[in-house]
């Protein structure tokens, strides 16, 4: 039996508050993104019950500023209104925000599909830490060797769960705003982590969400962070 150990060697640390995939979502961070939304030109919200604004901030590690792109979904009684912004920075000061897309989608089924992937209720990635990289059990180094009558030999050893650490990549922050709630959650390179730990349902859902959202905006889904994880294979 072969024992496969996957180790991510992406150890570059970003220059922003997103570094390492752990985002400080404190009151200070929330205020910073709210100020950034005002700089982009988002208006003060007067939402009715069952109306929402969803902001998806996208930031690449090793770049200046808190976000390179912003996708906004306004869920109104009359349908969905979509806006896509590109943000330009001069060091850590925003220089320009340009709206690339502004359109309406009348199909209410689209919103239901986003809800099916738990758009409004997904947890922050930091709460999934033990699921993504579970603590290993005390190492069992037992190796069983069997010699067969035909002189064949079988070697068996315990198989471990794959683990990954990705400190470089793309970060996604979701701001969910309604008439009576306001919450945020963040994910760092979810496609890369989902590929290593497919058992984590929340990662699969956030990847599905991003694909649906990118499709809504006619953005190629290939722009999602899909890290090619280096592997070290150990044959026992």
Q: Return the H-helix or E-strand segment holding 177.
A: strand 170-178
Evaluate whether residue 179 is within a structural domain: yes
High-pLDDT (> 90) share of the chain, %: 42
Q: Which residue has the higher pLDDT, 105 or 91?
A: 105
| Domain hosting residue 21, numbered range | 3-135+163-234
Residue with the bigger pLDDT between 151 and 223: it is: 223
Res 20: pLDDT: 41
- Name the domain count of the chain: 1
Choose from 61-70, 121-130, 167-176, 192-201 the range with maximum mean pLDDT: 121-130
| The predicted structure's pLDDT at residue 207 | 95
90-99, 100-109, 199-208 — most confident range: 199-208
154, 148 contact by CB (below 8 A): yes
Output the pLDDT for position 144. 76
Predicted pLDDT of residue 225: 61
Residue 113 DSSP label: H
Between 112 and 134, residue with greater pLDDT: 112
Average pLDDT score over residue span 11-33: 56
Q: Average pLDDT, stretch 12-39?
A: 64
pLDDT value of residue 45: 82
Residue 25's pLDDT band (boundaries 50, 70, 90)? low
Tell me how far apart the 2 most distant CA atoms of the chain are, in Å.
Answer: 79
Instruction: Tell whether 141 is covered by a domain.
Output: no
Please state, for a pLDDT cut of 70, what percent of the chain lies above it. Answer: 72
Let me know if residue 155 belongs to a domain.
no
Residue 146 lies in a domain: no
Identify whether 30 is part of a domain. Answer: yes
So what's the pLDDT on residue 119?
A: 98
Q: Is residue 171 part of a domain?
A: yes
In terms of average pLDDT, the best of 15-19, 72-76, 145-149 is 72-76
Taking alpha carbons only, the member of 108, 106, 104, 86 closest to residue 95 is 86
pLDDT-derived band of residue 71, with 50, 70 and 90 as boundaries? very high
What token pair was written down for 211? 């694909």
Q: Does 79 reside within a domain? A: yes
Residue 148 belongs to a domain: no
SS3 assignment, position 32? helix
Give DSSP secondary structure letters for 181-214. Answer: -EEEEEEESHHHHHHH-TT-HHHHHHHHHHHHHH
According to the model, what pLDDT value does residue 7 have?
A: 34
């Amino acid at each position: 039996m072969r024992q496969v150990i996957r180790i991510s060697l992406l150890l570059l640390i970003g220059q922003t508050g997103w570094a390492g995939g752990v985002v400080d979502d404190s009151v200070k961070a929330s205020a910073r993104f709210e100020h950034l939304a005002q700089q982009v030109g988002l208006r003060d919200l007067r939402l009715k019950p069952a109306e929402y604004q969803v902001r998806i901030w996208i930031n690449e590690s090793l770049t200046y500023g808190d976000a390179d792109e912003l996708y906004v979904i306004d869920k109104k009684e009359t349908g969905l209104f979509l806006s896509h912004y590109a943000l330009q920075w001069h060091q850590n000061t925003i220089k320009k925000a340009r709206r690339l897309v502004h359109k309406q989608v009348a199909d209410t089924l689209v919103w239901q599909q986003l809800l099916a992937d738990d758009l409004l209720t997904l947890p922050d990635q930091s709460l999934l830490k033990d699921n993504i990289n579970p603590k290993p059990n005390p190492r069992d180094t037992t190796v069983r060797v069997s010699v067969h009558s035909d002189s064949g030999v079988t070697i068996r050893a315990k198989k471990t769960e794959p683990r990954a650490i990705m400190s470089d990549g793309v970060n996604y922050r979701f701001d969910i705003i309604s008439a009576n709630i306001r919450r945020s959650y963040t994910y760092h390179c979810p496609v890369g982590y989902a590929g290593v730990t497919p058992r984590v349902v929340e990662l699969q859902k956030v990847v599905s969400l991003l694909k649906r959202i990118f499709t809504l905006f006619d953005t190629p889904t290939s722009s999602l962070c899909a890290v090619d994880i280096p592997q070290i294979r150990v044959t026992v």
